Structure 1
């Protein structure tokens, strides 16, 4: 699977979505009573340890000036990652896997809205409609007759994830994604470590295991995105990532015995359908632009 064709890129992204959901599964398996800050700290530690050989190789093969590029943004993203990781643990501890993931999938909609607000990107009627439907879908999924901390955490996680994703635009494009991820996690260690020390919970070997495997899954997801989006236009394959919601339904049922009700299915449709439409619209636009470009080239050659 090279990722050079649309079909192989889609397959890689589907696998990536599976690993992302598997990451959530291991976080959820850590349990309701897990020491949240300690768990978050060990996740950051394991991600640094896994990425360290790759980062060192990139450092040695690149100009030294490249290593210090974008440090301010890596620092900000690293500390935001700690907040996102904490919110993720809280929401997954109490909410069913499918319910939490359905709420998380509002992040792409929030990215578009934040992009319009902070980067002055064009906000179309379609995007606004997608945002409204996504909000309705979230209400249908959660049905907040009683607002819980887990519900709030799931929504806040989507917001923080969207904000952190937008900050990727600030990172130097010439820098390796995996090297950047290593530096980001390195900057996450002081805050995560400080919170873990303040928490003062006793160490448990289970936390170490779940932190390690969830970190591996998280990195595999990042690698799949790196390969899947590298050679193919993102609009052609991005809908493949929504397969993660299907994995959340299946793994939630298989691992935790959770059976999503009709509200979760309907709410998920409200969230996912507009995103699929926007993706399909972008594909049609690109095809139209390519056709016009080819026509002009042919006329020029004639």
Structure 2
């Protein structure tokens, strides 16, 4: 599939940042749902509704069957997303939102490393050094957590979020490949449909119909997730994975504000310090040297 490459990278960056903003707001709805009905039911019903919304939008845009390459990438990303989401939202229910988001910030650096391996994007010693510096930030957050009274499951929640971040880095790389093989509307629909089908395998044992007062949150979360997927799919079709991954950092402000306003969470100084170290390391690692001009094909 061919995409225009004449757009400014700043446009793709802005669209990706908007997608991250919607996803961050969705996180607050999902944390509330996870606390109320559990991580499995929150994800299962949200993705089912999102698949319905995505199907309507996809059909309105012309529909059409995915190509063989796109279908393979949809399946791979769907499996990664299902595991990633379960780990993240399980952890999010056990640690403050700002801390969870800060820990997830190792994903952009990992995406840079994976981008070099999978997409052959340039990476060097700077990224390796930045990755080591980011680990210092993670250690700072974890050390601060040990001094906070967050409950016995907080440490396990933090580990779950770190594991989710590793999967999310791989998800960013697959998203880049996927965006080159399918349109945003197709990605937004098929992604949710595949995750729903994967989660449905456990439905006979785990699925419980939510109470009526929870459905409003489920629908809003599904709409936010679908819109975010659409915006991110468009952005990743017009920019490099490592460059766009830095938009993740805008989510810390959303997480801190929403965590305080909705859940009464306070941002610990060690979380701020650790997040600052990770963000600085990631931005430093993502800096690019001017590339030599190449002859036109």
Instruction: Give TM class, smaller chain.
Output: 0.7 to 0.9
1:82/1:6 CA distance change after superposition, 3 Å: closer
3-state DSSP of counterpart to 1:217: helix
- Equivalent residue, structure 2, for 1:203: 210
Measure how far apart 1:207 and its partner are.
4.0
Q: Does the residue aligned with 2:290 lie in a helix, a strand or coil?
A: helix
Inter-CA distance 216–142: structure 2 relative to 1 (3 Å threshold): farther
CA RMSD, Structure 1 to Structure 2 (Å): 3.1
> Of 179, 182, 190, which aligns to 1:183?
190
Larger-gyration structure (1/2)? 1
The answer on whether the counterparts of 1:58 and 1:179 sit within 8 Å (CA) in structure 2 is no
Q: Which runs of 5+ in 2 are unaligned?
A: 1-5, 147-151
Output the TM-score relative to the length of structure 2: 0.81
| 1:136 equivalent in structure 2 | 136
Q: How many residues align?
A: 284
* Contact in 1 for aligned 2:179/2:234 (Cα 8 Å): no
Contact conserved, 2:111 with 2:241, CA < 8 A, in 1? no
Shift in CA distance, 153/206, structure 1 to aligned 2, threshold 3 Å: farther
Matched, 1:252 2:259: yes
* CA gap 1:53/1:76 in 2 versus in 1, 3 angstroms: same
1:79-118 deviations in Å (ceiling 9; x for gaps): 2221112112211111101000001111111122334455
The Cα of 1:216 is off from its aligned counterpart by 1.5
Partner of 2:272: 265
How much does 1:18 deviate? 2.2
Question: Deviation string for 1:182-238 (max 9, x for gaps)?
Answer: 222222222211223221545323443333222222222233334556667778776
Aligned position for 1:221: 228
Question: 1 CA distance for matches of 2:107 and 2:99?
Answer: 14
Structure 1 portions without partners, runs of 5+: 298-302
Bigger CA drift: 38-47 or 234-243? 234-243
Cα deviations across residues 136-184 of structure 1 (Å, max 9, x unaligned)?
2112112264772211111111011112222235437242122023222
Deviates more, 1:190-199 or 1:152-161: 190-199
2:67 counterpart of 1:71: no
Instruction: Indicate the residue corresponding to 2:95 in structure 1.
Output: 95
| Counterpart contact for 1:59–1:67, Cα < 8 Å | no
Aligned residue among 43, 48, 58 for 1:45 = 48
* Worse-matched range after superposition: 109-118 or 256-265: 109-118
